[in-house]
Structure 1
Amino acid sequence: MTGRSSLLSVRDLSVAFPGGRRRPASKPVGGLSFDLHGGRTLALAGESGAGKSLTARALVGMAPPGARVTGSVRFHGEELLTAGRKAYARLWGRRISLIPQDALSVLSPVHPVGDQLAAAARSVRRLGRREAHAAAVAALGRVGIADAARRARAYPHEFSGGMRQRAVIAMATINAPDLVVADEPTTALDPETQDRVLDLLGSLCENSGTALILISHDLPAIRRHADRVLVLYAGRTVESGPVGTVLSRPRAPYTAGLLASLPSDEPVTDRRLPTIGGAPPSPEELVTLTGCAFAPRCPLADARCHTHTPEPVVAGPGGHRVTCHHHDDLPATARELFQEGSPA
């Protein structure tokens, strides 16, 4: 990391839910720390249930009701967690935007797409109706929607899935925010469309100096589109650093397991891909967990892993860090660590 100040600086971010009559206490996110500069892309990676989406919503002040968010989130040097909801309301749509997984949850089915983008522009900038409409058409054009003036009059159901996602990106970037948080922004899109949408989002952010947090379980997409990555397990960071380093030379067994489970370029055989056995701990179990959360599933775990929580250590250049007692014990390739499945 460079010495220049961060756009977003997060320290020890945790999300907990107090217990009650109907549910026990839980802590699905615990102790995340990272920095993000303008024009750069940080990916949050991990299995479903790793805490990626909850982390994103906590960062932008949209944690679920009842959540207790602690730690520090500094945006342009301003502490947001202690500033309250009013501070976030001042930033939403202006300086911070969220792209959720489902485009249809953002777009109203009863209003033309262009009108919705124009309303987003008018809510932030003092624009007349004609100016706001022009801004909406320009935003649709920037995201590669052909004949944008005509398409601006169409309704969301008249757009394909890829076009709807482009429209949501246009809405999220129409006011040139400083930070865009994209939560699985290509869900349900085919691989080719996914790449086009992510290329587009990355280009828009890079050209405007906007920082991007990309949440995804798709490691190949993260490799192509992110600068840095945080690999999350059970809401904790197990490995972080430059994408090229972390995904080429992982030092955490969990990261190695995720990579091992990906299809390779090798000829197809009659053996299944390696898998990570077992399941992650529940958020309720994490409240009283001692040791490493991944230990019950880790092929390298020993007694220390079950009783002593590992501390993050420097694992390589560029701020590559790993939280694992056995970061020096990984074999040469990830596939050697995890047992291949039985013959199909």
Structure 2
Amino acid sequence: MADVLLSVRDLRIAFDGVEAVRGLSFDVRPREVLAVVGESGAGKSLTARALLGMLPPGATTSGEIRLRGSLDLAAQRGRRIALVPQDALSALSPVHPVGDQLAAAVRSVARVSRKEARVRAVAALDRVGIPDAVGRARAYPHEFSGGMRQRAVIAMATINEPDVLVADEPTTALDEERRDQVLRVLAEQREAVGAALVLVTHDLDVVRDHADRALVMYAGRLTELGPAAAVLGRPRAPYTAGLLASLPEHAHGRRLPALPGTPPAPGALPPGCAFAPRCPLATEVCHRSEPEPQQVEDRLVACHHWAEVPHPAVELFQVTRHASA
């Protein structure tokens, strides 16, 4: 399709023969924000790393990931696709000034002088709102605050104007004010360079406020994929409903429920639908047959009983508070 920038088809990621991502397919369109959500262990970060050709040692993969038609992801990393990491302090070298690191990123993809690379590095720090960019370019990462470090890695990711940014939990460990600041800077820089954004997050408020589409993952597979407003406004997958039910805004005087049980380990998946042991709608077919993603209205849904998910869907998991509570 002409409007597809990044295409993922039947992606499988395994360790010692055990699949952690299982047959995942999706597209990313130019300039859109695709949020990838799900509980820990769903395969979100592994998927993000696969997009960059940065999987950990021991991982084996199959399927296809194409960026503008090319399968050579490693050659495009830093140029056409770039990472905004979760831990900015670990992503930055502690022994080199921040400006030098940004300049090195420039020279890794462009034949420019050290002076020109330095000028671009200072300009990038200035664009993300770091005051006294000339002076701060000479500072080391430990001399930056947490929020400033996160701005610096956004500057590094966008300095070569990539087509796709991959942000893996970019606001983890930041308070609400700094979270909003970082997300605003990320949005501004994405718009400035015209990039699409794959945003890995557990924060559904972030998805609601910043994403065009949402990909909900469970046990390494697609559970629901569609317009973010529609997926969060009226989910068709029980798992999505369970995530939403845990938000404080749905309490209404009742005890907030947690999803029953825990996600299965990759090597211990139940037969049939992996979510069936935790799902209030599960029937015999769910325990026997794993549902394939199917087109439902404006989205893809992998659920045998999507038509039975009520509206509002959070009622599937809400629990009335006991009178003594």
Residue 296 (1) aligns with residue 277 (2): yes
Conservation of the 8 A alpha-carbon contact between 2:52 and 2:74? no
Asked if 1:179 is matched to 2:160, the reply is no
Correspondences of 1:96-245 after superposition (within 5 Å): 96-245=81-230
Q: How does 1:1-344 map to 2 (within 5 A)?
A: 4-18=2-16, 25-78=17-70, 80=71, 87-264=72-249, 269=253, 271-286=254-269, 289-317=270-298, 320-340=299-319, 343=322, 344=325
Provide, for residues 270-312 of structure 1, a one-character-per-residue CA deviation record: whole Å limited to 9, x for no partner.
x4202211011111023xx431100000011011100011122
- C-alpha contact (below 8 Å) 2:67/2:73 kept by paired residues: no
The Cα offsets for residues 77-110 of structure 1, whole Å up to 9 and x where unpaired, read as 12x2xxxxxx333212111111221001111112
Q: Aligned residues: percent identity? A: 63
Report if the CA contact (8 A) 1:26-1:285 is conserved. no
The offset of 1:45, in angstroms, is 0.3
TM-score (norm 2): 0.95
CA contact (8 A) 2:3 2:30 kept: no
SS in 1 for 2:191: helix
Aligned partners of 1:8 and 1:341: how far apart in 2? 44
8 Å contact from structure 1 (residues 12, 30) kept in 2? yes
Q: Give distance in 1, aligned partners of 2:74 and 2:20.
A: 25
Shift of 1:203: 2.3
Deviations 1:247-284 (A, max 9, x none): 101000000000010011766x4x42022110111110
CA deviation map 1:162-211 (0-9, x unaligned): 10000000011111111111110111111121122112212221232211
The answer to whether the 8 Å contact 1:278/1:297 transfers is yes
SS at match of 2:280: coil
2:165 aligned counterpart, secondary structure: strand
Aligned counterparts of 1:33 and 1:220: Cα–Cα separation in 2:
25
8 Å CA contact 1:11–1:34 kept in 2: the answer is: yes
SS in 2 for 1:13: strand
Structure 2 unaligned blocks of 5 or more? none
**RMSD of aligned Cα (Å):** 1.5
| 1:332–1:89 Cα change, 3 Å | closer
Pairwise CA distance, 1:5: 3.2
Deviations 1:15-42 (A, max 9, x none): 1123xxxxxx411100111111121111
Counterparts of 2:73 and 2:4, CA distance in 1: 18
Of the structure 1 ranges 147-156 and 169-178, higher mean CA displacement relative to structure 2 is found in 147-156
Rounded Cα–Cα distance in structure 2 between residues aligned with 1:47 and 1:88? 27
Letter in 2 for 1:5: D
Cα contact 1:143–1:170 (8 A) shared by 2 = yes
2:314 partner amino acid: R
What is the number of residues matched between the two proteins?
323
